[in-house]
């Protein structure tokens, strides 16, 4: 029989009417004033403790320790998984560097838990608070769902792999926020408008300077952003894939192809250069020694690193080109740098590429993933289908018109 008691002071005065019991030498409160209900709660908590011991879940770990274990595990999977798990660690553990706050929507330090707390102390209220604060900080529902998934993955790993005590009452059901997957591709006219806006020669620089009077660094950065735009439009690579292209990956002899490393799938693909992309690469190769970087698109201040993930110039160009007009955003969703990948896939599909061919160009493992990047308007698809069918359809037999005329005009017997 479990022994229940109430908290008292040194004089024996009862401090709380809620019943408590002893668990592993520590005082635990049942949170209940009714003795019978408190007994049931105490027995349940003791049985969970025994289950922990049987399953080997006998040691505690802090939230910081558990998250670090998860990051170490994801590091072994791929570079992309490592980067995503580290971003999760920074938000939840409160280790977001001040110089990286530009990645945060509202430019404020994200809400975090006390990293010294035990993982077993994590409660449903903590999950609610995390989700509420992420929403107030301006994060998208998809990002919030991903963070909850990471916490759930840590919870499962603690139970199945690491033998760390957990709170079995932690409930992840019904925590998924609705996500509207609105993406769109730019039309050919919109692509041309974006190219005109990003043109470094006609662009207006800070202090309303023209190309001739703008500082050298501003002109260099403008050229980098413009060339990177052409790279995205003509290869359909992801943002990080384009920024991490090395000169050793570019065919600088025959100027035919570029090797692209896909960290998401840990594969390397060879893509052929279009005429305008070849011209861009040849121009950059001609002056590569000026900056002396192994990257085609080096960092603005440290040539030993690739261009940073802050694509402010490209995003501003997209907004100036009118691609994020409020009417379009409400109907189709926000046009981002990643949407250039959708534009690439849609243009090729309009020209006759099929999903089984497109998947190799986009670096996907199946056709279903590639289908998500195709955004053809119904009338365009209908017109394309009609044109393709006309090209292969056999002609009607000669004299069919005469035979029909005879059949309809001849008197019935």
State the DSSP string of 91-148: HHHT---GGGGGGSTTSSPPP---TTSBGGG--HHHHHHHHHHHHHTT--HHHHHHHH
Percent of the chain's residues with pLDDT above 70: 87
Mean pLDDT taken over the chain: 84
Mean pLDDT on 347-361: 85
Taking 60 as the threshold, does the pLDDT of residue 411 lie above it?
no
Mean pLDDT on 307-322: 88
85-94, 394-403, 404-413, range with the lowest pLDDT:
404-413
pLDDT digits (tens, 9 = 90+) for 138-176: 888 888 999 999 999 999 998 888 888 888 888 888 888
pLDDT digits (tens, 9 = 90+) for 235-294: 999 999 999 999 999 999 999 999 999 988 888 999 999 999 999 999 999 999 888 999
What predicted TM-score, i.e. pTM, was given to this entire model? 0.65
Q: How many residues does the chain have?
A: 413
Q: Residue 253 has what pLDDT? A: 93
Distances in Å between the Cα of 399 and the Cα atoms of 260, 402, 403 are 58, 5, 6
Beta bridge partners of 278: none
CB 233 within 8 A of CB 341: no
pLDDT digits (tens, 9 = 90+) for 47-95: 777 776 665 556 788 999 999 999 999 988 877 788 888 888 988 887 7
Mean pLDDT on 315-336: 88
pLDDT digits (tens, 9 = 90+) for 370-387: 888 777 655 666 666 677
């Amino acid at each position: 029989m479990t022994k229940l008691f109430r908290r008292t002071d040194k004089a024996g005065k009862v401090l709380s009417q809620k019943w408590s019991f002893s668990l592993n030498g520590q005082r635990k409160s049942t949170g209940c004033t009714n003795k019978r209900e408190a007994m049931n709660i105490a027995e349940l908590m003791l049985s969970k403790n025994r289950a922990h011991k049987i399953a080997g879940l006998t040691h505690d770990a802090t939230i910081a320790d558990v998250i670090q274990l998860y990051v170490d595990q994801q590091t072994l999977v791929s570079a992309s998984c490592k980067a995503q798990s580290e971003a999760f660690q920074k938000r939840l553990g409160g280790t977001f560097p001040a110089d990286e706050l530009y990645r945060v929507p509202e430019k404020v330090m994200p809400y975090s838990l006390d990293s010294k707390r035990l993982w077993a102390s994590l409660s449903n209220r903590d999950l609610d608070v995390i989700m509420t604060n992420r929403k107030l900080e301006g994060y998208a529902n998809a990002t919030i769902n991903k963070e909850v998934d990471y916490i759930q993955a840590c919870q499962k790993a603690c139970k199945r792999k690491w033998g760390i005590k957990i709170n079995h009452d932690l409930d992840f059901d019904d925590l998924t926020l609705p996500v509207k997957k609105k993406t769109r591709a730019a039309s050919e006219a919109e692509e041309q408008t974006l190219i005109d806006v990003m043109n470094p020669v006609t662009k207006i620089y800070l202090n309303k300077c023209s190309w001739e009077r703008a500082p050298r660094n501003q002109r260099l950065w403008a050229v980098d952003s413009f060339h990177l735009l052409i790279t995205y439009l003509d290869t359909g690579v992801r943002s990080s894939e384009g920024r991490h292209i090395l000169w050793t990956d570019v065919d600088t002899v025959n100027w035919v192809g570029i090797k692209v490393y896909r960290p998401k799938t840990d594969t390397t693909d060879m893509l052929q250069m279009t005429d305008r992309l070849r011209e861009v690469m040849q121009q950059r190769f001609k002056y590569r020694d000026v900056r002396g970087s192994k990257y085609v698109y080096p960092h603005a201040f440290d040539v030993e690193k690739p261009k940073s993930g802050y694509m402010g110039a490209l995003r501003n160009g997209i907004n100036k080109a009118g691609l994020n007009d409020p009417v379009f955003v409400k109907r189709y969703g926000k046009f981002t740098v990643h949407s250039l990948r959708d534009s690439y896939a849609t243009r090729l599909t309009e020209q006759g590429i099929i999903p089984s061919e497109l998947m190799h160009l986009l670096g996907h493992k199946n056709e279903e993933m590639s289908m998500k990047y195709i955004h053809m308007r119904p009338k365009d698809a209908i017109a394309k289908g009609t044109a393709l069918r006309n090209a292969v359809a056999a002609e009607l037999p000669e004299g069919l018109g005469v035979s029909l005329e005879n059949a309809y005009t001849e008197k019935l017997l």
